[in-house]
Amino acid sequence: MSMEDYDFLFKIVLIGNAGVGKTCLVRRFTQGLFPPGQGATIGVDFMIKTVEINGEKVKLQIWDTAGQERFRSITQSYYRSANALILTYDITCEESFRCLPEWLREIEQYASNKVITVLVGNKIDLADKREVSQQRAEEFSEAQDMYYLETSAKESDNVEKLFLDLACRLISEARQNTLVNNVESPLPGEGKSISYLTCCNFN
């Protein structure tokens, strides 16, 4: 493994219906761009951004998946190794909200049980076209025990916050896991627990 200059490495996978703005969120965060007329993502896109949190370099591997049904089997293969999932829907599109339970089933089926899931309602710049109220989304995320955030990739609202908060939570989870792993000496068969630390702690 390359000895790159970072303290933590996390995999974040964005999922959600086609056209809810996953690619725009990633572009906004990684490149500071909002490319209008973005074509549909083919398969998966891959971006890297290294951020500094409390003096520690955190490398975020961001997998931006295609929302279209025909790419589902490709995107599903990335769930298991993800440290975090960003489940995105479009606040101006009731349909994209109604599909969330289906996405949660996918997560249940494919993702690791330690994965952190964040629910994101995107496109809050189109407030006059809103179809899903904030309260409804909050209630839903609370019931599913998810963190909820509303963003606008276009206006750059909450985009940084989304990724940085997530990175913070991933760091603290990773720390807890080192503690747990240090206390219990791993028995055969229990070594499969978590993969972060084998690859992130270089300090």
Partner 1 sequence: MAAPAAPSLARSGGSSSALPMEEIRALTDLPDLEAAYSRLCAEEKAVEEELEMLLDQQSSVESKMVALHRIGPNLQLIEGDAKQLAGTITFTCNLAENVSSKVRQLDLAKNRLYQAIQRADDILDLKFCMDGVQTALRNEDYEQAAAHIHRYLSLDKSVIELSRQGREGSIIDANLKLLQEAEQRLKAIVTEKFDEATRQGDLPQVERFFKIFPLLGLHEEGLSNFSDYLCKQVSDKAEENLQLVMKTDMSDRRAAVIFADTLTLLFEGIARIVESHQPIVETYYGPGRLYTLIKHLQVECDQQVETVVDKFIQQRDYHKQFQQVQNSMMRSSAGEKIEPRELDPILTEVTLMNARSELYLRFIKRRIVSDFEVGDSSASEEVKQEHQKCLDKLLNNCLLSRTMQELIGYYITMEEYFMRETVNKAVAMDTCEKGQLTSSMVDDVFYIVKKCIGRALSSSSIDCLCAMINHSITELESDFREVLCNKLKMGFPATTFQDFQRGVTSAVSLVHSSLQQGKFDTKGIESTDEAKQSFLVTLNNVEVCSENIMTLKKTLESDCAKLFQQGFGGEQAQPKIDSCLSDMAAVSHKFRDLLQEGLNELTTSAIKPQVKPWINLFLSVSHNIEEEEFNDYEANDPWVQQFILNLEQQMTEFKLGLSPVIYDSLTSLMTTLIAVEMEKVVLKSTFSRLGGLQFDKELRSLIAYLTTVTTWTIRDKFARLSQMATILNLERVTEILDYWGPNSGPLTWRLTPAEVRQVLALRMDFRSEDIKRLRL
> Least separation, in Å, of the C-beta of 27 and partner 1?
13
Distance of closest approach, residue 73 Cβ to partner 1, in angstroms? 4
Closer by beta carbon to partner 1, 185 or else 203 = 185
Interface pick for partner 1 out of 70, 113, 128, 143 (rule CB under 8 A) = 70
Among 4, 43, 127, 155, binds partner 1 (CB under 8 A): 43
Beta carbons of 128 and 139 less than 8 angstroms apart: no
- Give the binding range for partner 1 (CB under 8 A) out of 71-79, 96-104, 113-121, 156-164: 71-79
Q: Is 127 helix (H, G, I), strand (E, B) or coil?
A: helix
Start-end of H helices in 46-113:
72-79, 94-98, 100-110
- Among 6, 19, 34, 44, contact with partner 1 (rule: CB under 8 A): 44
- The binder of partner 1 chosen from 54, 113, 192, 203 (CB under 8 A): 192
Q: Which of 6, 34, 71, 147 binds partner 1 (CB under 8 A)?
A: 71
Are the CB atoms for 166 and 160 separated by under 8 Å? Answer: no
What are the CA-CA distances from residue 15 to residues 96, 127, 169, 187, 201 (Å)? 11, 23, 19, 35, 27
Q: What distances in angstroms separate CA 154 from CA 75, 169, 202, one per listed residue?
A: 25, 25, 36
Q: 74 to 133, contacts with partner 1 by CB under 8 A? A: 74, 77-78, 80-81
Smallest distance from the beta carbon of 134 to partner 1, in angstroms? 35
